Structure 1
Amino acid sequence: MLTKQHIIKYLSLTILLLLCWLEHYNHFIMRFIDSALVQSTLVYASSRTVNAAISLLQSAEVGIGIASIQPAQLLDPVNDLAEYMSDAMRLAIGSLFLQRILYTISSGVIFSSLFTVSVVAYFICEWRNFLPNLRHKIMASLILIRFLVPAVVLTTGLVSQVFLDEQINQQSEIVSEKV
């Protein structure tokens, strides 16, 4: 007899199986990763440009008689901020490239076929009550491999949009005004 838990489990596995083969889902995740890569690269490039411009200004000296000063040294905190931002963006770009590679591998035809065969085998083993511990571990591992990267990408993107985008834009405007 099928319990409510069994029905939810079978329905969830069927939905994951459909998502595995759904091209719109795969393209959506890839576009999301590519969009984040472009945004991170633009922020990295702009922070490196600000850093280079301030470094160039800081190298200029103004000399009056025996004394010389470097007025652009006042921009040192902004220069440090640009360096920190570029370092953070370098890490973000590396993380996004790694996520893109992992998603490309896990969303390929070979892995999708393996996932499909595993789901069918899981249903058969569940019906026959064969290898209960092993089937759950294998299925959990394959679900994590196939759907963990998209889940991480989507949740970090949504958290960023909801909580961080406004603050990032405000900080960017402040830095732009100071520069």
Structure 2
Amino acid sequence: MKYIRQLSPTRRILVILLAVLALAAALYSGILQQRVVNPALAPLDNKAHSVLQHSLLLSSASFATARLIDRGIAFVSEAEVGVGVASVKPGQLLKPLQDMAVRYSDLMVIAMTSIGLQLFLLEFAKLAALPLFGSGILVSTLLVFIGPASWRASSTYLLRIFIAVLLVIRIGVPLAAFGVAELSDWVLEPQRIAAEAALTGETAALQRVEQPVTNANDGSLSWLRQMAAKANDMFSAMKSFSDTMVEKLIQLIVVYSLQTLVFPLLSLWLLWHLGRWFVRRPLPQPPLQTATP
């Protein structure tokens, strides 16, 4: 840049225009994106996409498990067991676990939304980030070197903004996704595996208990007897859910909150402040001209 400023105004404009035209040709023809940038960042993009797809699969499976727990408890809660002349609903004792399962399933919806947003940003970065923000970089560069001197400071800040946004979207987002996955695997994966294994084992009995099937030749009394038998089977299965199941759900809520919400938001916060520091750095001041006696 110092060499460019030392050129005469005519040569400076000519060099800047040639450089901008060459960069624009490489940018809009797709050569810069398809043959240089995307191949260079392909390993990082593939790793980030793979870990996000894995997290989405785990979140979907956890959502299905939470809904199964909720369905099982809701079915048992409506079953009445006769005790003498009275009847009770023992499934009501499992309401705290049902509430926790509902909260867990809601969190899984938020987690899947967060992962889907990150996948969208990855695809957007590969397809449109460079042409979109590269255009802003080209225009800002022309304004810095060819525009009026009064625009130079604003144009420089604008150029920094486009560079920072391009770097954050194209490199920062996949790098953050991969870093969050590696940190989660290192810190949170053992707790997640243990908690989900416990839930899967406990819900295996629930998957084997189905609603009774009504036949055309059976009366309503036979159907009610089947319903009572199924309710007893379901209640027996739900009794295996101990108080530790609430603890396992809390552990999973903490793990997925950190993995899909806290860690990604923290990484985006760090990227935001890094880009903000890059944009708001003081502009270099031209050297003072000393008068010769």
TM-fit CA distance, 1:87? 1.0
The alignment-based identity, stated in percent, is 25
TM-fit CA distance, 1:126? 10
Which residue matches 2:129? 111
**What does 1:77-88 align with in structure 2 at a 5 Å threshold?**
77-88=96-107
**What does 1:65-80 align with in structure 2 at a 5 Å threshold?**
65-80=84-99
The 1:45/1:133 distance shift into structure 2, 3 A limit, reads: same
Q: Distance in 1 between matches of 2:54 and 2:158?
A: 39
Which residue matches 2:276? none
Which residue matches 2:175? 151
User: Of the candidates 91, 94, 110, which is equivalent to residue 113 of structure 2?
Assistant: 94
Which residue matches 2:165? 141
1:36 and 2:55 aligned: yes
Flag the structure with higher helix content: 1
Which residue matches 1:14? none
Deviations 1:59-113 (A, max 9, x none): 11102343111122232232222112111111000111111112111111x4345
Q: Distance in 2 between matches of 1:20 and 1:119?
A: 18
Task: Determine if contact 1:125/1:135 at 8 Å carries over to the other structure.
Answer: no
TM-score by length of 2: 0.47
Cα RMSD over matched residues?
3.3
TM-fit CA distance, 1:114? 5.1
Amino acid at match of 2:89: Q
Q: Distance in 2 between matches of 1:135 and 1:127?
A: 11
Question: Which of 1 and 2 has greater Rg?
Answer: 2
Structure 1: stretches of 5+ with no match in the other structure: 3-16
TM-fit CA distance, 1:166? 1.8
Structure 2: stretches of 5+ with no match in the other structure: 3-34, 147-151, 203-239, 242-293
Which residue matches 1:160? 184
